[in-house]
C-alpha cells in the first residue's frame, strides 16, 4: 500500500493554492491488492489529510460514491479507511489497466471535499482457460510441411504479468507451435506442420496445448487436440483482406448489418467449400456479434454500449472441408451516440443558511457525470435566473453553489434552486434537480411603528386604569427577533416621572391611565414610547405620543363680585335721578373650565321689582330698565344666576342688594339695625374699586418665583398673569405685553391670555434668576395700565433656586440695625399704649361729669352722629370706580392657587349688620345714648392705635429695605472690584 503525494515544486504549489479556494479541496491515492478481506486497512486519511478526529466527527465526515457498491468504509473515530466489500479486480475493471475506483470524503461546517482514489493491484487468482475442452482437426495427409493450423487462444482474466504469457504443445513428431502477439498485447498460436503426415502410419494424433501465465506461482490451463489425418486437400482458404474495418452505432438494434468478410479456396468440390467463424472471441463479445458461417456476414447480436467498449478486435477464421484454415482480423469501431443524460448527485447542502452570510459563501456541492464521450459528454451546469446565487466548477465534474449577493430573509425566506446540467450532444440531453434552501433569520430589522406619531384625546376625571390608546409596531424579522415589547421612555412631567401618569402594556402596547387627570392641572401629556425586539443584541425605535386632556364641565362658576358674606349686607346705591340704562353694578364671575364649559351667561332669577332692573346676558352688568320713580322702594334685592355652557350646565347664584336713594342717610334708614355695636363699626368700610393684577401677587416682604426646569421644551407654560378690569365693553378688554426681561429671547407673553411661555429651548448657559416686567393695558380712551413683576427661576431643583433667591449677607452690622429698629418700634408702641390708657381714663371722667350736668339741665341738645373717616386705596393706575382688595396664596405651580377676594366698599355701598330689624328716628339720631358715645370713643381709640402701629411698621420695613439695598450695592461694588 502506498500514498501518491505531490513531488515536484509545481505540484506542491498547486496543492497549496487549492487549499485556499472557497472550500477545502484535496486528493489522495492509495494502492491495495485485490481480494483483501473485509476490515483490512486501506489508509489513514486523517493523517494524510491533516485532519484531527474532532474535525471528522463535528464535520460529519462521510463517503459519497456514485457506484452501486461501496468498497471502502470510513471509521471516523480512528480516521482510517478499511475494506468493506470483496474487491475482484477482474469483475471491477476487466482487462483495463490500471484498475481503480474513486470516491469523495465530504466534511461540513465548513464544507470540505477530498477525493480518494484506490488503485487495485492484480493478484494471480485466475488460471488461463480455453473455451472448449477439445479441438478437432481433420488434416489431409497431403498437407504440405509448413501448413498452419490456428488454435483457439486461452483467456486469462488477470492482467500484466499475471496474464497469459506462453503456450506449450506436448511433444510430438509432426507439429510445432508458433506464437504471435496482437497489437493489444494478447497472444494467439498456430500449430505448424513440421513433418508430412502419413495416414497409413498414424491415422489419428492426440496432442495437448497448455497455456501458462506469468504469476508466482504460475497457473496454467490446457485443451486436448485431436487430429484426424484425411486424404489430401492441397489449398487452404484465403481472405481477400488481411484486416477488415467497420463501424457501428452503439445503440444499433439486433440484426444490424456491420460488414461481410470474403475468403476463397482453390480447391474444388467439397474441399473448396468454406465455413466462417469467430476465433478467439472474448466472452463478453460473443453475445454482441454474430457471423453467418456460409456468407461471412457480420451483424449485431446484442446491445452495444460505447461507454463499456469503444472498439472490438475479432479474428475471423475460414475453414474448408479439408480442414485447411486461414484467419483475418476484423476491427469494429463503436460510434458514440448521445444516449446518456447528465446525472446530478447532491454531495452536500447547507440548509438553513444565515441571511448575513457574505457573497461567495459555498452553499452546496454537486457532482455531475455524463457517460457519453466527446461533445456528448461535455457538460454545462447552470441554475435558474434572478436568484442571488451562482454555480462554479471546482474539481472535474464537481460544482459549487455559492451566494452571489447578500440574502434577505424578510424578502425571501426560502429558495427553490433548480440546478440544470446539459451536455453538448445533438440533440442535447439535460437533467435537473431542485434544491430547497431555507434562510435563517438574524436580527437586522428594528421595529417600525404604523404611525409617525400618535395623538389622542382623553376626557378628564377618568377612572385609573382606563385604556387610552394602543401603540402598534411591527418587526419584519422572525420568531424571537420579531417579538416586540413596549416601554415608556424616561420623561419628567412637572417633576414627576411619566410612569406616574400612564403605563403601557409591554406585550400589546396598550396605554393605560395610572391616575385620574384634571384638565385644570394638566392639559397635555407628551412622551415617547420605545418598541424593542427580542433579538440579541436587541433593536429598538421610538415614537412620540401626545395625549390631549379634554375639559369636562366639573367646575361651577365662581362669583368674584359682589362678595357674599353672612356677617354684613353689601348694597349698591342707585340715585332716583338715574336714567334708563344706568349701570348699577357688575356681577363678575369666572369658571376655571375651558372652552364652551367656561362660557358664562348671566340671568336675573328673582328681583323685588323685575321691571326695574335687567342683567346683561354676556357681561353680567345690572342696569336700570326704566326711569326710577319716587314710588320705587328704597330696598331692592336681586338674585342673579350665573350659568356656564357645559353639558350639563353648572351654575352659581349671587344676591345683590340695591338701595334706591339719593343720599346716604336715606339708604341707611332702610339697611341699618337699631343697635350700632362693635360689629357694625367693624363692618362699616367703604372703598373704591380699582383694576388690579390678581396674579402674580406683588409683595415686598417675599420673593415669589416660578420654577422652569432646564429640560423645558419650546412653548413651556411658565405662569399666567391674571388681571381684571370691572369696566365694561372695550374699556375692559385687556392686553398683555412684555416690557422688560433679563433675557427677552427666552420668554414671550400671550397678547390676549397673559400666558408666559418659553420661546426657545432652555440651555445650561441661561441664568437661574430671571426677572420679567409685564404691562397690562385696557382698551379704553385713553388706555390705562398696570404693571407686574414676575420672578422666574431656571433650575431643576429647589436648592438650586434657593441659592439664587436667598439673602446671603447677614453680617453683624445688618443684624444690629434690625435689632435697633425693632426695639425702637416696641418702645413707641408701649408709649402709645400708656398714653391711650390715660386718655381713656380722662374721657371716662369727663363723660361722667358731663352726664351729671346733662341730666341736671334736662336740655335736649342735637347730636350729629359721627362717622369714622374712611380710607380708600387710591394707589395704582387703574381707571375703575372701585378698588378690589385681594388675598392671594400662590404656589410655584400656577394651576394650584387659592384666591380670596376682600369685601369691596365704596361711597355708594353700605356695610351693616344684617340682623338688625329696627330703624332710627330723627330724635334718636340727634340724641345718641351714652352707650353710643362709648362705642364712638372706643372706635376712635382702637382706630388711632391701629393706624399708628401700622405706620410705624411700614416705616420700619422701609428702613429695612433701604438697609438691605445698601448692603446689596456694597456687594456689587466688591464683586466688580
Strand (E) or helix (H) holding 35 = none
318: its cell numbers: 475460414
- pLDDT band at residue 230 using 50, 70 and 90 as cut-offs: confident
User: Out of 2.60.40.60, 3.90.1010.10, 3.40.50.720, 3.30.365.10, which CATH number does the structure's domain 558-683 have?
Assistant: 2.60.40.60
Residue 947 phi/psi, 5° resolution? -60, -45
Q: Residue 364 in 3-state DSSP? A: strand
Helix-strand-coil split of the chain, %, nearest 5:
20, 35, 45
- Those residues whose C-beta lies under 8 Å from the C-beta of residue 470, and which sit 6 or more positions away, are 508, 509, 510, 511
H or E element that contains 206 = strand 204-213
pLDDT at 260: 95
Same fold, 124-232 and 343-440: yes
Which tops the pLDDT comparison, 471 or 965?
A: 471
- Contact, 670 vs 634, CB < 8 A? yes
User: For the chain, what percent of residues have pLDDT higher than 70?
Assistant: 77
Complete DSSP assignment for 67-100: SSS--EEEETTTTEEEE-S---HHHHHTT-SSEE
Report the predicted TM-score, pTM, of the whole model to 2 decimal places.
0.47
Q: How many angstroms separate the CA atoms of 195 and 190, rounded?
A: 15
Contacts of 487 (CB under 8 A, 6+ apart): 504, 506, 529, 530, 532
232 SS3 class? coil
Yes or no: say if 564 and 904 are a contact pair by the CB < 8 Å rule: no
CATH (residue range 448-550)? 2.60.40.60
Cis, bond preceding 232 (omega within 30 deg of 0): no
**Which grid coordinates belong to 62?**
462521510
pLDDT band at 814 (very low <50, low <70, confident <90, very high): very low
- pLDDT for the residue 615: 95
- Mean pLDDT, rounded, for 148-164: 87
Q: Give tens-digit pLDDT for 23-55.
A: 556 789 999 999 899 999 999 998 998 888 888
957 versus 275: the higher-pLDDT residue is 275
In the block, cell 466527446 appears at: 374
User: Can you give the pLDDT at residue 736?
Assistant: 93
Strands 692-695 and 243-249: unpaired
Choose among 313, 321, 143: nearest CA to 244: 313
pLDDT at 822 over 80: no
Level-2 CATH architecture, domain 692-806 = Sandwich (2.60)
CATH of 233-336, one of 3.30.70.260, 2.60.40.60, 3.40.50.720, 3.30.930.10: 2.60.40.60
* 399 band by pLDDT with thresholds 50, 70 and 90: very high
Class of domain 343-440: mainly beta
Quick check: 95 pLDDT over 60? yes
Mean pLDDT of 258-262: 95
The H or E element that residue 639 is part of is: strand 635-643
105-114 tens-digit pLDDT: 998 888 888 8
User: Are the beta carbons of 347 and 65 closer than 8 angstroms?
Assistant: no
Task: State residue 80's pLDDT score.
Answer: 92
Phi then psi dihedrals of residue 121, to 5 deg: -90, 130
| Backbone dihedral angles phi then psi of residue 490, each to the nearest 5 degrees | -65, 115
- The secondary element (H helix, E strand) that includes residue 691 is none
Band (pLDDT 50/70/90 cuts) for residue 713 is confident
* Band of residue 937 on the pLDDT scale cut at 50, 70, 90: low
What sign does the CA torsion over 666, 667, 668, 674 have? positive
According to the model, what pLDDT value does residue 277 have? 92
Q: Please, what CATH class does the domain formed by 9-121 belong to?
A: mainly beta
pLDDT attached to residue 884:
38
How far apart (Å, rounded) are the C-alpha atoms in residues 878 and 876? Answer: 6
Domain residue ranges in the chain: 9-121, 124-232, 233-336, 343-440, 448-550, 558-683, 692-806, 807-866+929-977
pLDDT over threshold 50, residue 812 = no
Q: What is the pLDDT of residue 968?
A: 59
pLDDT in tens, 631-652: 889 899 999 999 999 888 999 9
Q: What is the mean pLDDT of the chain?
A: 80
pLDDT at 672: 54
- The span from the CA of 248 to the CA of 311, in Å, is 10
Q: What is the pLDDT of residues 569-621, one digit of tens each?
A: 567 889 988 889 999 888 988 888 888 888 999 999 999 999 999 999 999 99
* CATH number of the domain located at residue range(s) 124-232 in this protein: 2.60.40.60
- DSSP characters over 749-760: E-TTT-EEEESS
Question: Which position has the higher pLDDT, 297 or 835?
Answer: 297
Contact 173, 263 (CB under 8 A): no
Half-sphere exposure of 966 (CA within 13 A, CB side): 10
Would the pLDDT of 802 be above 80? no
pLDDT tens-digit profile of 162-200?
888 899 999 999 999 999 888 777 788 999 999 988 877
Name the DSSP letter for residue 358: P
State CA 630 to chain mean position distance.
86
pLDDT value, residue 163:
86
What is the mean pLDDT of the segment spanning 863-870?
A: 36
How does strand 362-369 pair with strand 398-403?
antiparallel
Give the pLDDT band (50/70/90) at residue 955: low
CA dist 274 and 272 (Å) reads 6
In the chain, % of residues over pLDDT 90: 38
pLDDT score, position 923:
37
Residue 362 has pLDDT above 60, yes or no: yes
Report how far residue 405's alpha carbon sits from residue 410's, in angstroms, rounded to the nearest whole number.
Answer: 15
Which region among 2-6, 104-108, 166-170, 291-295 has the lowest average model confidence (pLDDT)?
2-6
Contacts of 887 (CB under 8 A, 6+ apart): 899, 900, 901, 902
Query: Which pLDDT does position 567 carry in this prediction?
Result: 43
Report the distance separating Cα 303 and Cα 252, nearest Å: 7
Summarize the confidence of residues 833-837 as an average pLDDT.
Answer: 78
- Can you tell me which residue has the cell 471528522? 56
- Rounded Cα–Cα distance for residues 948 and 951 (Å): 5
- Range with the lowest mean pLDDT among 309-318, 488-497, 578-587, 935-944? 935-944
pLDDT-derived band at 977, boundaries 50, 70, 90: very low
Which of 113-127, 259-273, 353-367 shows the lowest mean pLDDT across its residues?
259-273
C-alpha cell at 207: 496432442
Amino acid at each position: 500500500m502506498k500514498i501518491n503525494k505531490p513531488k515536484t515544486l509545481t505540484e506542491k504549489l498547486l496543492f497549496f493554492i487549492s487549499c485556499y479556494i472557497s472550500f477545502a479541496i484535496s486528493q489522495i491515492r492509495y494502492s491495495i491488492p485485490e481480494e483483501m478481506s473485509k476490515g483490512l486497512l486501506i489508509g489513514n486519511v486523517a493523517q494524510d489529510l491533516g485532519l484531527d478526529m474532532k474535525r471528522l466527527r463535528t464535520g460529519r465526515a462521510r463517503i459519497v460514491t456514485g457506484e452501486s457498491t461501496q468498497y471502502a468504509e470510513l471509521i471516523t473515530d480512528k480516521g482510517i479507511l478499511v475494506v468493506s466489500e470483496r474487491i475482484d479486480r477482474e469483475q471491477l475493471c476487466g482487462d483495463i489497466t490500471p484498475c481503480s475506483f474513486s470516491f469523495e470524503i465530504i466534511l461540513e461546517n465548513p464544507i470540505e471535499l477530498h477525493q480518494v482514489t484506490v488503485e487495485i493491484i492484480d493478484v494471480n487468482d485466475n488460471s488461463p482457460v480455453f473455451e472448449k475442452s477439445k479441438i478437432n482437426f481433420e488434416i489431409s495427409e497431403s498437407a504440405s510441411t509448413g501448413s498452419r493450423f490456428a488454435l483457439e487462444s486461452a483467456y486469462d482474466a488477470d492482467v500484466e504479468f499475471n496474464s497469459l504469457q506462453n503456450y506449450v504443445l506436448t511433444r510430438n513428431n509432426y507439429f510445432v507451435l508458433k506464437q504471435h502477439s496482437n497489437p493489444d498485447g494478447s497472444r494467439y498460436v498456430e500449430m505448424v506442420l513440421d513433418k508430412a503426415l502419413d495416414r497409413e502410419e498414424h491415422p489419428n494424433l492426440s496432442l495437448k496445448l497448455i497455456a501458462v501465465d506469468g504469476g508466482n506461482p504460475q497457473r496454467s490451463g490446457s485443451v486436448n487436440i485431436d487430429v484426424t489425418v484425411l486424404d489430401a486437400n492441397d489449398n487452404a482458404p484465403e481472405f481477400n483482406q488481411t484486416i477488415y474495418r467497420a463501424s457501428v452505432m452503439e445503440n444499433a438494434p439486433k440484426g444490424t448489418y456491420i460488414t461481410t468478410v470474403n475468403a476463397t479456396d482453390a480447391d474444388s468440390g467439397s474441399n473448396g467449400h468454406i465455413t466462417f467463424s469467430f476465433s478467439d472471441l472474448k466472452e463478453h463479445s460473443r453475445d454482441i456479434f454474430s457471423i453467418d458461417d456460409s456468407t461471412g456476414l457480420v451483424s449485431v447480436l446484442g446491445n452495444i454500449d460505447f461507454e463499456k467498449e469503444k472498439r472490438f478486435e475479432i479474428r475471423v477464421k475460414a475453414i474448408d472441408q479439408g480442414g485447411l484454415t486461414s484467419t483475418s482480423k476484423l476491427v469494429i469501431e463503436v460510434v458514440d451516440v448521445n444516449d446518456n443524460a447528465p446525472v446530478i448527485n447532491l454531495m452536500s447542502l447547507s440548509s438553513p443558511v444565515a441571511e448575513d452570510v457574505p457573497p461567495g459563501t459555498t452553499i452546496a456541492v454537486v457532482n455531475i457525470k455524463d457517460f457519453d464521450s466527446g461533445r456528448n459528454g461535455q457538460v454545462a451546469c447552470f441554475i435558474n435566473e434572478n436568484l442571488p446565487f451562482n454555480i462554479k466548477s471546482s474539481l472535474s465534474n464537481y460544482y459549487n453553489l455559492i451566494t452571489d449577493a447578500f440574502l434577505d430573509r424578510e424578502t425571501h425566506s426560502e429558495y427553490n434552486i433548480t440546478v440544470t446540467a446539459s451536455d453538448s450532444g445533438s440533440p442535447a440531453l439535460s437533467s435537473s434537480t431542485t434544491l430547497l434552501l431555507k434562510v435563517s433569520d438574524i436580527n437586522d430589522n428594528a421595529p417600525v411603528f404604523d404611525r409617525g406619531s400618535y395623538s389622542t384625546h382623553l376626557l378628564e376625571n377618568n377612572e385609573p386604569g382606563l385604556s387610552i390608546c394602543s401603540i402598534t409596531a411591527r418587526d419584519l424579522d422572525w420568531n424571537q427577533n420579531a417579538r416586540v415589547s413596549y416601554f415608556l421612555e424616561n420623561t419628567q412631567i412637572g417633576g414627576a416621572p411619566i410612569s406616574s401618569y400612564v403605563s403601557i402594556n409591554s406585550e400589546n402596547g396598550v396605554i393605560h391611565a395610572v391616575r385620574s387627570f384634571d384638565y385644570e392641572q394638566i392639559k397635555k401629556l407628551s412622551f415617547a414610547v420605545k418598541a424593542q425586539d427580542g433579538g440579541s443584541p436587541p433593536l429598538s425605535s421610538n415614537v412620540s405620543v401626545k395625549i390631549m386632556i379634554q375639559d369636562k364641565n366639573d367646575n361651577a362658576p365662581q362669583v368674584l363680585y359682589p362678595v357674599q358674606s353672612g356677617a354684613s349686607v353689601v348694597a349698591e346705591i342707585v340715585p332716583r335721578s338715574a336714567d334708563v340704562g344706568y349701570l348699577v353694578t357688575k356681577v363678575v364671575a369666572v369658571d376655571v373650565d375651558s372652552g364652551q364649559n367656561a362660557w358664562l351667561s348671566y340671568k336675573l332669577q328673582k328681583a323685588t321689582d323685575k321691571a326695574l332692573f335687567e342683567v346683561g346676558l354676556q357681561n353680567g352688568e345690572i342696569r336700570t330698565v326704566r326711569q326710577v320713580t319716587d314710588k320705587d322702594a328704597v330696598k331692592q334685592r336681586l338674585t342673579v344666576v350665573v350659568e356656564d355652557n357645559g353639558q350639563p350646565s353648572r351654575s352659581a347664584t349671587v344676591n345683590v342688594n340695591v338701595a334706591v336713594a339719593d343720599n346716604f342717610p336715606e339708604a341707611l334708614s332702610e339697611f341699618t339695625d337699631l343697635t350700632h355695636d362693635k360689629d357694625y363699626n367693624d363692618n362699616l368700610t367703604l372703598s373704591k374699586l380699582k383694576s388690579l393684577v390678581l396674579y402674580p401677587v406683588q409683595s415686598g416682604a417675599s420673593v415669589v418665583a416660578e420654577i422652569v426646569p432646564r429640560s423645558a421644551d419650546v412653548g413651556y407654560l411658565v405662569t399666567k398673569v391674571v388681571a381684571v378690569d370691572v369696566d365694561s365693553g372695550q374699556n375692559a378688554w385687556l392686553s398683555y405685553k412684555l416690557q422688560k426681561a433679563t433675557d427677552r429671547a427666552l420668554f414671550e407673553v400671550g397678547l390676549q391670555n397673559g400666558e408666559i411661555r418659553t420661546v426657545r429651548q432652555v440651555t445650561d448657559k441661561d441664568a437661574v434668576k430671571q426677572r420679567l416686567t409685564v404691562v397690562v393695558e385696557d382698551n379704553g380712551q385713553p388706555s390705562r395700565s398696570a404693571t407686574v413683576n414676575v420672578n422666574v427661576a431656571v433650575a431643576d431643583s429647589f436648592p438650586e433656586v434657593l441659592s439664587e433667591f436667598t439673602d446671603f449677607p447677614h453680617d453683624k452690622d445688618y443684624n444690629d440695625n434690625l435689632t435697633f429698629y425693632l426695639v425702637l418700634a416696641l418702645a413707641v408702641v408701649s408709649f402709645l399704649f400708656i398714653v391711650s390708657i390715660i386718655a381713656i381714663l380722662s374721657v371716662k371722667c369727663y363723660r361722667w361729669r358731663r352726664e351729671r350736668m346733662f341730666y341736671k339741665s334736662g336740655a335736649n341738645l342735637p347730636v350729629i352722629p359721627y362717622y369714622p373717616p374712611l380710607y380708600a386705596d387710591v394707589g395704582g393706575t387703574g381707571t375703575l370706580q372701585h378698588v378690589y382688595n385681594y388675598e392671594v396664596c400662590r404656589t410655584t405651580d400656577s394651576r394650584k392657587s387659592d384666591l380670596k377676594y376682600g369685601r369691596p366698599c365704596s361711597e355708594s355701598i353700605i356695610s351693616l349688620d344684617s340682623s338688625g330689624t329696627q330703624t332710627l328716628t330723627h330724635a334718636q339720631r340727634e340724641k345718641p345714648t351714652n352707650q353710643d358715645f362709648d362705642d364712638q370713643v372706643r372706635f376712635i381709640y382702637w382706630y388711632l392705635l391701629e393706624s399708628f402701629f401700622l405706620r410705624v411698621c411700614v416705616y420700619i420695613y422701609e428702613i429695612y429695605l433701604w438697609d438691605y439695598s445698601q448692603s446689596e450695592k456694597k456687594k456689587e461694588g466688591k464683586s466688580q472690584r
